[in-house]
Amino acid sequence: MWNGSGYISLVLPLLVAFPVWYWVRKRSKNSLPYPPGPKAYPLIGSLLDFPHKVPLWEGLTNLAKRHDTDVLHLKLPGTEMVVLSTSEAISDLLDQRSAIYSDKPSTTMVELIGFTESGLPFMPYGPRWRMHRKLLNEFVSPSTSKDHDVNQVKVVSDFIINLHRKPESFREHIHLLTSSLALSIAYGIRADSLDNEIVRAYEEMLGAARKALIPGSFFVDVLPILKYLPPWFPGVRFHAFADKVKKDLHAAMTRPLEHVAERLKVGGDIDPSIMSTCLENLEDLGKKGVDMEVIRNTAGIIYGGTSGTTKTLLSSFFLAMARSTDIMRTAQCQLDSVLDGGRLPDHSDIDDLPYIVAIVKETFRWAPPLPIGTFHRLMEDDVYRGMFIPGGATMVENIWAICYDEVTYPEPHTYNPARFLDENGRIDPSVKDPEARVFGSGRRICPGRHLALRMVYLTVARILATFDILPPVDKEGCPRIPEARFNQTLVRDPTPFECVVKPRSEKAIKLIYDTVSIHR
């Protein structure tokens, strides 16, 4: 029978043993070496070695090579950073140990703007993130992303017409294409110009938000305690800035929601969308705890997720084509033989167009839109290959390092889709697929990847079926190959470049207008 002393004799050793076990475990972890990296000095850590003269992804790749490691450690003021630069390390940690590598680091400005509450990519790992992600997945999973094919065909048709009417504005058209696609999927709205009220509201908000997202743009990110200063305090700008972005974000997401709700109420003609489906199923969603705010945020993230990344990828595709006429012609030959010149390609043709598939893979590899992904945060101490990785560390996936690895992709700076093909011109499964890495990893992997891939394949195939993309020529008629230059922000967009976009033939023009008249 249990008496007090029996109970104490059982519990006391446990009470003593647990803290000792915990302390020994923590100490033994702490006594392990950190991953290799540059020397850290008091206060400034490894800042002196932090890349600032070359693009961050190249600098981090060089630093990792110099320290002969694919797990690089940098001690920075206020944070530890661990940079992973091989698929193996990313898969071991971010994929296989995703239970502890799926949080997101934040900054004071990101919190003040409210992105940690409303923006899926910034939400801390937990129930709120899970609820948003689950709702989004219902619309963009491998099977449900096919539901948006009709929308995609319509907006791509609009794009092709715009390209024919004003070819020199190809980048604006790409911008409109991705914005319109996002709005049509989220709200059933097709934008016919970048002046569209909803597009403008999203773009203005995103422009301001991007500024706030660059760490260090606001001193409050360096010294978070400043956030407690009242807005009226002399010199305090960040409160007003954050409040404005927060308000603009709310307005950008609310306006289209109200538009769809109004249309549903009056029973007007409306294209199906994520918003209309959610509003029609409010009761069922409510039972799962999904409220209007979650719905508004989920539809809103479609714009943010689609606009920068897909736009960048398609701009890089134009640049690549203007630099490689032979590659473009090879793709067009394959398109002509499959389609017999009688129709435009569809999603269902892609399997018969391995050269187009190779072009898309090579564009993702050559110009990954997010070369260092978006950072993860390790939630507790970890040990990997005998090295100690501290809880709270900012984890960086160096996607660029993987895409430019010389062993996997010889001559990585050369744009060469043939590297993905076997001797029979089929996709070679033994070559690592960059599409498996450019969308990130683990539980935070891009949920829009299936949607994005369907969109990109369709657009690339349709452009090449109908247009030539050529380098401009100088006075003597010699081609001026545009340089491959990219900006150095976190989304790696090609800097402005010129190219000549012209219909392949009269037959192509007829095809364009015949197809469009079906979709209007």
**366 CB burial (10 A radius; 0-12, 13-18, 19+):** buried
374 binds ligand HEM (CB under 6 A): yes
Q: Which is nearer to ligand HEM, 401 or 512 (CB)?
A: 401
Given candidates 201, 370, 396, 499, which one binds ligand HEM under the rule CB under 6 A? 370
Q: How far is the CB of 368 from ligand HEM (least distance, A)?
A: 7
446 is in an annotated binding site: yes
Binding mask 85-124 for ligand HEM (x = CB under 6 A): -----------------------------------xx---
Q: Round to whole Å and give the CA distance between 84 and 31.
A: 22
- Options 6-14, 65-73, 208-216, 368-376: segment touching ligand HEM (CB under 6 A): 368-376
491 binds ligand HEM (CB under 6 A): no
83 binds ligand HEM (CB under 6 A): no
Q: Quick one: which of 302, 458, 501, 512 contacts ligand HEM (CB under 6 A)?
A: 302
**Residues sharing a CB contact under 8 Å with residue 329, sequence separation 6 or more, in sequence order:** none
Q: Which of 313, 339, 463, 490 binds ligand HEM (CB under 6 A)?
A: 313
Q: Pick from 369, 471, 494, 503: which binds ligand HEM (CB under 6 A)?
A: 369
- Binding of ligand HEM at residue 128 (CB under 6 A)? no
Using the contact rule CB under 6 A, the part of the chain among 308-316, 321-329, 352-360, 459-467 near ligand HEM is: 308-316
Distances (CA, A) of 276 to 33, 139, 199, 268: 54, 12, 19, 12
Enumerate residues 183-212 that contact ligand HEM by CB under 6 A. none
73/311 with CB nearer ligand HEM: 311
* Least distance to ligand HEM, CB of residue 284, Å: 22
Q: What is the rounded distance in angstroms from the CA atom of residue 447 to the CA atom of residue 94? A: 16
Nearer to ligand HEM, 245 or 299 (CB): 299
Residue 309 touching ligand HEM (CB under 6 A): yes
> 389 φ, ψ to 5°?
-115, 115
Residue 447: which of 141, 242, 236, 186 has the closest Cα?
141
Residues 6+ apart with CB under 8 A from 280: 264
Residue 83 or residue 451: which is nearer to ligand HEM going by CB? 451
Two tokens, residue 5: 């002393």
| Residue 373 sits in the site that holds ligand HEM (CB under 6 A) | yes
- 43 token code pair: 């206060």
Nearer to ligand HEM, 303 or 415 (CB): 303
The minimum distance between CB 111 and ligand HEM, in angstroms, equals 16
CB proximity list for 114: less than 8 A, separation 6 or greater: 246, 249
User: Per CB under 6 A, which of residues 434..453 are in contact with ligand HEM?
Assistant: 438-441, 444-448, 451-452
Task: Give the separation between CA 355 and CA 464, rounded to whole angstroms.
Answer: 11
Q: How far is CA 64 from CA 345, 380, 388, 390, in A?
A: 43, 24, 17, 19
Sign of the four-CA dihedral 226, 232, 234, 237: positive
Report whether 415 contacts 149 (CB < 8 A). no
Q: Is 220 or 456 the residue whose CB approaches ligand HEM more closely?
A: 456
Three-state DSSP class for residue 438 = coil
What are the helix (H) ranges across 267-353?
274-280, 282-287, 292-323, 325-339
User: Which residue, 95, 80, 122, 91, is CA-closest to 394?
Assistant: 80
Query: Whose Cβ is closer to ligand HEM: residue 40's or residue 131's?
Result: 131
| Residue among 249, 232, 403, 243 at smallest CA distance from 316 | 403
494 binds ligand HEM (CB under 6 A): no
The residues, ordered by sequence, that sit 6+ positions from 108 with a Cβ below 8 Å of its Cβ are 218, 220, 221, 224, 226, 227
**CB-nearer residue toward ligand HEM: 245 or 399:** 399
- Residue numbers in the known binding site for heme are 446
- Residue numbers in the known binding site are 446
Which residues here bind ligand HEM, judged by CB under 6 A?
A: 120-121, 133, 140, 301-302, 305-306, 309-310, 313, 369-370, 373-374, 376, 438-441, 444-448, 451-452
